[in-house]
């Protein structure tokens, strides 16, 4: 065992899984860029105060933050999420509204590591600042939905709720508080503590003894003002127009203290309840303001990469790609010719790899097999002397005319292109994917 290993909850993402991660981000960027979102790349570390504005009733801020004093004496934190940074950036740069941005990258939370839960984990997300239109909520949700569809996921459930206007929410919280106080004995110790800080979060409890009290608790829907009710109505109508199925869940409150009106969560139906939340979001007000900007409406979501990929594994979609080059060059004459040929191939847009250390023909051919290449180019002393090369198909069904053959060195690139085209045309669609 080497002396150093990754810290708990932190991982090396190795190939080919790392390629899958990059493609995940790429699919996401394709989906949201096509809807007018531009990428924001905020720093991974900010003044601690930026993250503290998320609210002091969330574990993310109170218990899980990686924070330290830097060499200049600043109290800084590694970002536990990116919404706060986006709002800080908005307050700092004052872009035109609506400001539609997306992000992708790691966040840090000092959580207890388990399946689908890490201390450094990746999210992708979008935020729109400066518009209060219910159809924007629908656009945001629909983009999340479309992203899952592009990955190939089918078993995703959308849960939807509205927390009403701030005044509705406040009245609801008050009523919840009295209700929980009257039923204190029936709540778990953890929920009693949560209740002191934020009664809404008690609704999140998955602990069995709490469930009876929670299911008889007052319902947010009874507290909606006419504005909140019509906003929520429009969101549901928009989702129905787009044929996006959803379930209303009055207990869906989500962590951020700033949430108002729409909240939603995407759940993976194949995952256990401890990690079935693939991602979620909602509408929030006040966050930009608390970071020194003007009063600004916001709506967005963050989707976790790890759990989404677990769901992909369960559904057998969006697998890690087989890393493969087009061509593997075998050179038994010392390797200098392989160097030239690889360079030529790569500059002609053909991916190529080779063996090093002048290994035997047999060992180089093993490397060729492992590389996943379609064809091998073989250079031995005869070829070197005759200024030729051998092209040998390695995979696919070897059909008439695709046998190994000698080609002139100066037409090698065009012959390789033709051989690759032939190899691809004889593959089944599954192999091509």
- Nearest distance from residue 373's CB to ligand AMP, in Å? 36
Q: Which segments of 276-334 does DSSP mark as H helices, in order?
A: 287-290, 305-315
Which of 59, 112, 102 shows the shortest CA–CA distance to 82? 102
- Nearest distance from residue 311's CB to ligand AMP, in Å? 10
Kindly list the residues in this chain that would bind ligand AMP in the complex (CB under 6 A). Answer: 81, 109, 111, 116-118, 121, 123, 277-280, 302, 304, 306-307
- Nearest distance from residue 219's CB to ligand AMP, in Å? 23
Nearer to ligand AMP by Cβ, of 187 and 305: the residue is 305
> Is 301 exposed, middle or buried, given 0-12, 13-18 or 19+ CB atoms closer than 10 A?
buried
Nearer to ligand AMP by Cβ, of 31 and 311: the residue is 311
Nearer to ligand AMP by Cβ, of 77 and 393: the residue is 77
Nearer to ligand AMP by Cβ, of 236 and 275: the residue is 275
Q: Which H or E element spans position 277? A: strand 277-285
Nearer to ligand AMP by Cβ, of 278 and 355: the residue is 278
Nearer to ligand AMP by Cβ, of 308 and 388: the residue is 308
**How many Å apart are CA 73 and CA 398, to the nearest integer?**
68
- Nearest distance from residue 274's CB to ligand AMP, in Å? 11
Bridge partners, 322 (sequence order): none
Contact predicate 107/121, CB 8 Å: yes
SS3 assignment for 63-79? CCCCEEECCCCCEEEEC
**How many Å apart are CA 208 and CA 217, to the nearest integer?**
15
**How many Å apart are CA 327 and CA 341, to the nearest integer?**
10
- Nearest distance from residue 98's CB to ligand AMP, in Å? 22
Name the residue whose CB lies closest to ligand AMP: 304
Residue with tokens 């570390």: 45
Which of 326, 361, 354, 357 shows the shortest CA–CA distance to 338? 354
- Nearest distance from residue 331's CB to ligand AMP, in Å? 46
- CA 68 from centre of chain: 27
Nearer to ligand AMP by Cβ, of 116 and 199: the residue is 116
**For residue 431, is it left (φ>0), alpha (ψ between -120 and 50) or beta?**
alpha
- Nearest distance from residue 126's CB to ligand AMP, in Å? 13
Nearer to ligand AMP by Cβ, of 280 and 367: the residue is 280
Contact predicate 284/261, CB 8 Å: no
> Is residue 327 reached through a cis peptide bond, with omega within 30 degrees of 0 on the bond before it?
no
Contact predicate 99/128, CB 8 Å: yes
- Nearest distance from residue 255's CB to ligand AMP, in Å? 6
**How many Å apart are CA 307 and CA 300, to the nearest integer?**
19
Nearer to ligand AMP by Cβ, of 202 and 311: the residue is 311
- Nearest distance from residue 39's CB to ligand AMP, in Å? 18
């Amino acid at each position: 065992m080497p002396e150093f290993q990754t810290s708990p909850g932190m991982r090396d993402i190795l190939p080919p899984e790392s390629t899958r991660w990059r493609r995940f981000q790429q699919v996401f960027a394709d989906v949201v860029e096509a809807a007018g979102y531009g990428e924001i790349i905020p720093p991974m570390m900010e003044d601690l105060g930026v993250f503290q504005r998320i609210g002091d009733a969330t574990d993310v801020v109170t218990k899980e933050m990686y924070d330290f004093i830097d060499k200049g004496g600043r109290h800084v934190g590694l970002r536990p999420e990116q919404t706060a940074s986006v709002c800080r950036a908005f307050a700092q740069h004052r872009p035109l509204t609506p400001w539609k941005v997306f992000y992708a990258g790691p966040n840090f939370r000092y959580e207890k590591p388990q399946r689908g839960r890490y201390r450094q984990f990746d999210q992708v997300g979008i935020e729109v600042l400066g518009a209060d239109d219910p159809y924007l909520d629908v656009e945001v949700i629909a983009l999340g939905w479309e992203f899952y569809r592009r990955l190939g996921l089918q078993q995703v459930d959308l849960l939807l709720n509205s927390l009403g206007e701030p005044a509705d929410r406040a009245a609801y919280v008050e009523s919840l508080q009295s209700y929980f106080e009257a039923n204190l004995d029936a709540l778990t110790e953890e929920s009693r503590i949560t209740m002191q800080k934020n009664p809404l979060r008690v609704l999140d409890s998955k602990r069995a003894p709490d469930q009876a009290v929670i299911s008889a608790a007052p319902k947010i829907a009874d507290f909606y003002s006419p504005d909140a009710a019509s906003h929520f109505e429009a969101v549901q109508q928009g989702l129905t127009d787009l044929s996006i199925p959803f379930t209303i869940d009055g207990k869906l409150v989500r962590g951020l203290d700033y949430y108002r009106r729409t909240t939603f969560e995407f759940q993976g139906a194949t995952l256990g309840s401890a990690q079935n939340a693939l991602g979620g979001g909602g509408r929030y007000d006040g966050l930009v303001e608390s970071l020194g900007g003007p009063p600004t409406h916001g709506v967005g979501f963050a989707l976790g990469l790890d759990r989404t990929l677990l769901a992909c594994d369960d559904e057998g979609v969006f697998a890690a790609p087989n890393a493969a080059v087009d061509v593997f060059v075998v050179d038994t004459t010392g390797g200098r010719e392989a160097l030239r040929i690889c360079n030529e191939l790569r500059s002609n847009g053909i991916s190529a790899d080779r063996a090093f250390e002048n290994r035997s023909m047999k060992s180089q051919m093993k490397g060729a097999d492992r590389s996943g290449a379609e064809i091998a180019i073989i250079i031995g002393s005869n070829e070197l002397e005759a200024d030729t090369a051998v092209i040998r198909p390695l995979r696919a069904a070897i059909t008439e005319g695709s046998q190994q053959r000698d080609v002139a060195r100066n037409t090698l690139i065009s012959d390789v292109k033709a051989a690759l085209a032939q190899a691809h045309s004889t593959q089944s669609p599954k192999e091509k994917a």
